Amino acid sequence: MLNFQDKVVYQIYPRSFCDSNGDGIGDLNGITSKLDYLASLGVDYLWLTPFFRSPQRDNGYDVADYCSVDPVFGTMEDAERLLREADQRGIGLMLDMVFNHTSTQHVWFQRALAGDKTYQDYYLFRDGAPDAPPTNWQSKFGGSAWEYVPKLKKWYLHLFDVTQADLNWENPAVREELKQVIRFWQGKGVKGFRFDVVNLISKPETMTDDLQGDGRRMYTDGRHVHQFLQELTRDTGMDSMLTVGEMSSTTLEQCIRYSNPDRRELSMVFNFHHLKIDYKNGDKWAMQSPDIGQLRQLFDVWQTGMQQGNGWNAVFWCNHDQPRIVSRLGDDRQYWQESAKMLALCIHFMRGTPYIYQGEELGMTNAYFEDIGQYRDVESLNYHRILTAQGRTEQEVRTLLQARSRDNSRTPMQWDESPTAGFTDGTPWIPLPQYKPEANVQAQAQAPASILSFYKRLICLRKEYPLIARGDIRFLCPDAQDVIAYCRGLDGKKLFVYCNFSAREKRVPCPGNVHFLIGSYEQPPQMTADEIVLRPYEGCAMMV
Ligand code: GLC
Ligand code: CA
């Protein structure tokens, strides 16, 4: 089994990372040109979101050919060079396998549309009248999850965009095709995979209306999902690689099963419960201020639970679907540096493999777009329409999108202070954030107190102290408001972590015999024999 406890993964959204040819869109050669930067950061793996041939309706999550490179991102030779050059720097590449669905432009779907029964069975087609979808399930991007094809007099299922048709995993031929994709990229030297919404792949035999919700409880962590993952891993020898599954609306029990090494499914899992603490009644499009008590509780349950079940978490705040964490749980104006560092420390010292999303290491903020014309994401555009139709005011919709749009994380990576942030010589495909402090590589690379330098130290510490990579975890101070504190332990050594998620000073109990390891303020916090005084958004770690 691969050892991944002491590894750190860096996520790249190629479209927004670095543009090498001036067309305003990031590409593979752009990534290759920044490998020295990534090596200096100290990360072990790069997870690249999809760069395969795609109509780009969902920025590459609508794949038309899994074994190709979309011309927008470069050529197969560019991919091979990137793999080679990353390898020379000791960095492994992880690719994003979107196996729940394909683009409707994929040749399999095109053949299905042309009437080929073999390929119709690759997808989830159902008979039905044009005005009666087979079930009442909702697409995660809004609207019905079914689309009618008049020519075939059939509906097909799409849990996401109408151009993302769900694959029929119950069909063994589909599973064989997908194994071939894994083998193709293994042959190119890829070192790991991220599996997109992989806990949604197994649908019920008979699909029926969901009378309680949007349908998700009928297909999430479905009946054969574990069997399918075990088969995929076994038949491709994938258990010697780093694999991570994106788990949508899942449970702790399921995640233990997905990631317990004895079961040979995946190395680790993403879950999103901790990123819904500012959703009102679980609704992404209803605002509430973040509930830190709930966040603490969730981390406690998941971290302790995964430890007990010998599962393994991917730990993270940010990705290409989430708003920027410093704008969300930190204070991106008054305590920009302090809160960005506190948030980093909080995650990196937990039990699990940390994922850094491009620009997070610079404290990049939300976009704060003022105008709907600045948004690009299919989900944001859909919801702009849906919310407006519901009668929300323009101001309300603007505020919601500013807080929730996936475009918040998709603005160009900021390499320097120039008008296009060193991302492109042309016009960026999406505007830069409207509010931009010194969140760029040039300003931070040589500055010892910068957010970037802080991330580098966190990565080094993981390599230096086995306790951070492999220690056990226990949560502390359950009653301290707006504070998350925990203790890691290994072979008699202990690491205490304290994080203040507020702009108010906090006093919490702390053993007296500890010494300061690292913190979000330059100077260690004030301590008494049994108490620690945390400054606004202070995060710090102490050792015995
Ligand atoms: C995952 C991806 C997201 C994509 C969706 C459909 O949630 O992270 O970007 O839109 O799956 O593939
Ligand atoms: Ca380009």
pLDDT by residue (tens digit) across 227-252? Answer: 999 999 999 999 999 999 999 999 99
C-beta pairs of 389-397 under 8 Å, 24+ apart in sequence: 397/372
Alpha-carbon torsion (160, 163, 167, 168), positive or negative: positive
Residue 158 C-alpha to ligand 1 middle, in angstroms?
Answer: 13
Pocket residue to mutate for ligand 1, from 16, 160, 167, most atoms within 8 A of Cβ: 160
Q: What is the mean pLDDT of residues 419-447?
A: 94
Per-residue CA distances from 249 to 220, 221, 268, 272 (Å)? 7, 9, 16, 7
> Whole-angstrom distance between the N-terminal and C-terminal Cα of the chain?
31
- For residue 374, is pLDDT > 70? yes
Q: Is 530 a catalytic residue?
A: no
Query: Nearest bound ligand to CA 73?
Result: 2
Q: Name the residue of 103, 197, 250 to mutate for ligand 1: max ligand atoms within 8 A of Cβ.
A: 197
Counting ligands in written order, the one closest to the CA of 70 is 2
Q: Nearest residue CA, atom 5 of ligand 1? A: 61
Instruction: Give the active site residue among 196, 377, 407, 482.
Output: 196
Cβ–Cβ under 8 Å, residues 254 and 199: yes
Distance (Å) from CA 278 to ligand 1 centroid: 20
Same fold, 9-100+173-374+409-458 and 473-543: no
Q: Is 426 helix (H, G, I), strand (E, B) or coil?
A: coil
- Which of 1, 8, 129 lies closest to 469, judged by CA? 8
Does ligand 1 have an atom closer than 6 angstroms to the CB of 196?
yes
Q: In the CATH hierarchy, which top-level class contains the domain 473-543?
A: mainly beta
Kind of pairing, strands 472-476 and 353-357? Answer: unpaired
- Answer yes or no: is the C-beta of 48 below 6 A from any ligand 1 atom: no
Ligand 1 within 6 A of CB of 58 = yes
Q: Return the ligand number nearest the Cα of 15.
A: 2
Helix (H) or strand (E) holding 532: strand 531-534
Instruction: Take atom 2 of ligand 1 and give the residue whose Cα is closest.
Output: 196
Task: Give the distance (Å) from ligand 2 centre to CA of residue 180.
Answer: 29
Does residue 61 line the site of ligand 1, with CB under 6 A?
yes
- What b-and-e string marks burial along 301-331, b requiring 16 or more CB atoms within 10 Å of the CB? ebbbbbbeeebbbbbbbbbbbbbbbbbbbbb
| Alpha-carbon gap, residue 510 to 504, rounded angstroms | 18
Q: How confident is the model at residue 320 (pLDDT cuts 50, 70, 90)?
A: very high
Which pLDDT belongs to residue 255? 98
Check whether domain 9-100+173-374+409-458 has CATH 3.20.20.80, yes or no:
yes
Q: What share of the chain in percent tops pLDDT 70?
A: 100
- Which residue among 103, 321, 404 is best mutated to probe the pocket of ligand 1, counting the most ligand atoms within 8 A of its Cβ? 321
pLDDT tens digits along 85-108:
999 999 999 999 999 999 999 999
- 290 neighbors 331 (Cβ within 8 angstroms): no
Per-residue pLDDT tens over the stretch 166-194: 999 999 999 999 999 999 999 999 999 99
Classify domain 107-165 by CATH number: 3.90.400.10
pLDDT, tens digit, 9 for 90 and up, residues 33-66: 999 999 999 999 999 999 999 999 999 999 999 9
* pLDDT for 1: 57
CA distances from 40 to 34, 221, 416, 458 (A): 10, 39, 17, 13
Residue nearest to atom 4 of ligand 1 (CA): 61
Output the CA 14–ligand 1 centroid distance in Å. Answer: 15
Helix, coil or strand: residue 285: strand
**Structure-block tokens of residue 488:** 């890691």
Q: Is the pLDDT of residue 494 over 60?
A: yes
| pLDDT value of residue 512 | 86
Residue 320 CA: nearest ligand 1 atom is 9
Atom of ligand 1 nearest to the CA of 101: 12
Which among 11, 196, 316 is the best mutation to test ligand 1's pocket, defined by most ligand atoms within 8 Å of the CB?
A: 196
- The pLDDT assigned to 106 comes to 98
Instruction: Tell me the pLDDT tens digit for each residue of 100-158.
Output: 999 999 999 999 999 999 999 999 999 999 999 999 999 999 999 999 999 999 999 99
All structural domains of the chain with their residue ranges: 9-100+173-374+409-458, 107-165, 473-543
The finding on whether 269 has its CB within 6 A of some atom of ligand 1 is: no
The four Cα atoms 445, 451, 454, 459 give a dihedral, to 10 degrees, of: -80
The average pLDDT across 277-284 equals: 95
- Ligand 2 centre from 402 Cα, in Å? 27
Mean pLDDT for the chain overall:
97
Q: Is the CB of 197 under 6 A from ligand 1?
A: yes
The answer to whether the beta carbons of residues 395 and 403 sit under 8 Å apart is no
> Considering the entire predicted model, what is its pTM?
0.97
What DSSP character marks residue 450? Answer: S
Q: Which of 78, 246, 407, 538 is catalytic?
A: 246
What does the H/E/C string look like for 163-200?
Answer: CEEEECCCCHHHHHHHHHHHHHHHHCCCCEEEECCHHH
**E strand or H helix at 12, and its extent?**
strand 9-12
- The pLDDT tens digits for 464-481 are 999 999 999 999 999 999
The answer, yes or no, to whether any atom of ligand 1 lies below 6 A from the CB of 62, is no
196 is catalytic: yes
**435 confidence band (pLDDT: 50, 70, 90):** confident
**Does ligand 1 come within 6 angstroms of the Cβ of 160?**
yes
CB of 198 closer than 6 angstroms to any ligand 1 atom: no
User: For the residues 444-451, what does the mean pLDDT come to?
Assistant: 97
Which SS3 state, helix, strand or coil, does residue 437 take?
Answer: coil
Cα 136 to chain center, whole Å?
A: 28
Q: How far is 308 from 255, CA to CA, in rounded Å?
A: 12
Question: What pLDDT sits at residue 437?
Answer: 74
